[in-house]
């Protein structure tokens, strides 16, 4: 399942790259969150020996991504690593700036702010 999770992460980063100047960023963010949720599912299956090792590979892959993609995906990846290591999200997020990648929001989505921050 590691390979499937890796391909799903590639989908997340590809979609993150399409957020620039997107007239409907919330629908793209929703698609990213769908892919993210699938990736988390694949990482939770019994065939994945060490999710931490796979997440380390995601970090390595993210180094090669364009800067806007890194800026958008890194907080969610930090949050995923934190939870995979046994941590829990609080109402404020996680230590070290980890974020949940959810496809819904009651206000402005944090990824929209990442799009605007240039």
Q: What is the mean pLDDT of the chain?
A: 88
The pLDDT tens digits for 23-70 are 888 999 999 999 999 999 999 988 777 888 999 999 999 999 999 999
Residue 84 neighbours by CB under 8 Å, 6+ apart: 43, 51, 52, 55
pLDDT band at 115 (very low <50, low <70, confident <90, very high): low
- Tokens 């997440």, located at residue: 55
Phi, psi at 95, each rounded to 5°: -60, 155
Phi, psi at 93, each rounded to 5°: 115, -140
- Global pTM value: 0.87
Q: Which CA distances in Å does 66 have to 38, 47, 70, 74, 86?
A: 23, 31, 6, 12, 30
Report pLDDT for 82. 92
């Amino acid at each position: 399942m590691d390979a499937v999770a890796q391909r799903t992460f590639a989908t997340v980063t590809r979609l993150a790259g399409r957020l620039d100047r997107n007239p409907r960023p919330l629908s793209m963010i929703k698609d990213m969150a769908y892919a993210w949720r699938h990736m988390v599912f694949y990482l939770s299956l019994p065939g994945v020996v060490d999710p931490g090792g796979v997440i380390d590979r995601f970090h390595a892959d993210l180094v090669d991504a364009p800067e806007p993609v890194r800026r958008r995906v890194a907080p969610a990846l930090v949050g995923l690593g934190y939870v995979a290591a046994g941590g829990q999200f609080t109402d404020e997020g996680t230590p070290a700036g980890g974020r949940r990648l959810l496809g819904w929001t009651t206000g402005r989505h944090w990824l929209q702010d990442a799009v605007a921050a240039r």
